[in-house]
Structures are given as structure tokens and as C-alpha cells.
Amino acid sequence: MTDTCNQGHHDHAADALDRSLSRGFFVAIALTAVTLVAEVIGGFWTNSLALLSDAAHVFMDLFALLLSLAAIRLARFPATDRRTYGWHRAEILASLVNAGTLLLIAFGIFTEAWKRLLHPEAVKSKEMFIIAIIGLVMNLIAAARLHRHSHDDLNVRSAFLHVVGDAIASVGVIVGGLVMLYTRWYVLDAVISIAIVLIIGFGALRLLREAGHILLEGVPPHLDINQVLARMLMVRGVNDIHHLHVWSICSHITALSAHIDVDAEHRHRQGEIVGELEHLLEHDFHITHTTLQADCASCLTGPVLQQLRHRPRHNHDHGHSH
């Protein structure tokens, strides 16, 4: 009964988190859409590439936010006999798409900025300054709504980085507008655009690295596998551990599997040892999805890390009849 209550409590907490995330995304999407319209109209009106570059970044922000919201909704779909992990990996795919599209838009901005650097064009600096301030305010409000969850969820962090990067870009546009207003040094418009490209590119590469690490089943960056192993070996009755795997299903769900060699004199409390290990892993390392195989007599001398190898498939169809 206690387990059922605990499960219900965890489900309720997860639903509350999803609702909170969704509300934050809805607000951010609305604010970002307003910013996009203002900066596109303002960019053409003022002939500012920096403003149009920022608008392009805002468009990608909007795309990222919509993808992220979709990923949160997909993650709520239950596991099935075809997708035993459900749709949690949709979050990582969304982050990967966000990063890829950011790199594409950065390349487009850089190409146009380089042309402007060689042949500067006049810009309506005062109007550009005012529109950039509106964009900055919108970005800061959107970022504030996403920040509280940005440390726990790669999907939210990717969206948060989009918005923060755009806020920084808006500050650059504001400063550039002021300088051009008093100096008429219009080449600065192109310089700001190139700076925006660097901001976009850095964030995109970082996201690609993080999402790629998860898709390659890498050990989560916040975990030291040797420390996890040492703590598991400290549990009374555990003689050795081998075939240890630790990976992320998504940014907030970590999984572990291992073979546990239990001391002969503790074989009668095998289930208790496995339960103690599961509690340890969840409490100390936030590893919530564990698969532990105890008393594996056939591989007692196996290595801690198992090397996977491709093997030929047998030409037997077990699942279908013709």
C-alpha cells in the first residue's frame, strides 16, 4: 500500500512539474511571437541587419520553444510494447533539431553580415534602438519563466539558452543603435550581426554535444561511474560488480544495469541486497531506473565494463509465421 501511495505521489509531482513547464512555455511562446513580429517589421523599416539578425534568432527561439513544448507533451505518452521507454527521447531529438537549425541560421546571418562589413548601409538608429529595447524586455520576461527548470531538463535548458542568447543579442543591438545614432558609424551594424552569430554558434555546438552524448548512451556528465561503483561495493553482502552500464534515457531520467556477485553467506538475503542497492542509487545519485541481476554464476569473473560486440543473427523467425 505504501508503494502504491508513493507511486501516486511521484506521478502527481511529475504532472505538476509538466503543468508548470507548459505554463512557462506558453508565456515564453507568446512573448517571443510578439518580439518576432516587432523585429521583422522594425528591421525592414530601419534597414538594420542587426535587428533582422536578431529577428532570425527570435524565429529560431520560437521554433525551439514550440519543439520543446511538443517534447514535454510527447513525454507524457505511456510506454507501449513497441516503445518500452515511451516518448522521453523526443526531448533529446527536439534539442538536436534546435541546435542544427541554430547553426544553419548562424551561417545565413554571417554571410549577409560579411557583405555589409564590406559595403556598409545607412540605418535608422533611433527606431532600431527603441525596437531592440522592446525585444530585450520580452526576452527577459520569457527567460525568467523558463529559468527555474533550466538546470534539471536539457529540453528546457535548450529553450532557455535560445532566449538568453537573444537577450544578449538585443543588448548588443541597443548599444549599437546608440553608437550609430551619435557617430553614424554604420559598419557597426554588421559587426553586431557577426557577434550574434558567435553567440548562436556557441550555444548550438554545446547543445549538439550534450544531446549527442545522450543519444550515444554516454554516462551522464554529473556522474562519476567509479564513485557509483565504489558506493555499490560498500553494501554489505556485495562481493563484486560487473557488466555495469549507466546512461540517460532523457536529461532527467538516468538508468543503470549491472550484474551483482553476492557473497555465498549472504545469498539468502539476495532480494534485500538488491533493494538496498536500488535505494542507494536513487537517494545518492538520482538514478531512478535500475536493472540489477544478482548471483550471476556464469560470469563471476566478468569485467566491470562489458564490451559489446556484433554477432550474426540466426535465420529463425520466432515472432512471425508465414
Query: What pLDDT digit, counting tens, does each position of 113-132 carry?
Result: 898 888 888 888 888 888 88
Can you tell me which residue has the cell 541587419?
49
The CATH 1.20.1510.10 domain(s) of the chain lie at 8-215
Question: Which residue did the predictor score with more confidence, 24 or 179?
Answer: 179
pLDDT of residue 317 exceeding 60: no
Share of the chain above pLDDT 90, in %: 17
For the domain bounded by 8-215, which CATH number is listed? 1.20.1510.10
Task: Decide: helix, strand or coil at residue 123.
Answer: coil
Q: What is the pLDDT of residues 243-260, one digit of tens each?
A: 899 999 887 789 999 999
Separation of alpha carbons 14 and 17, rounded Å: 5
The residues, any chain, with a CB within 8 Å of residue 305's CB and separated by 6 or more, are 243, 244
Q: What is the pLDDT of residues 142-186, one digit of tens each?
A: 888 777 666 656 667 777 877 887 788 788 888 888 888 888 888
Q: How do beta strands 253-262 and 238-250 pair?
A: antiparallel
For the domain bounded by 225-299, which CATH number is listed? 3.30.70.1350
Q: In what order do the strands lie in the sheet with 287-294?
A: 238-250, 253-262, 287-294
Q: Name the residue among 29, 26, 27 with its Cα closest to residue 62.
A: 29
The CATH 3.30.70.1350 domain(s) of the chain lie at 225-299
Report the predicted TM-score, pTM, of the whole model to 2 decimal places: 0.69
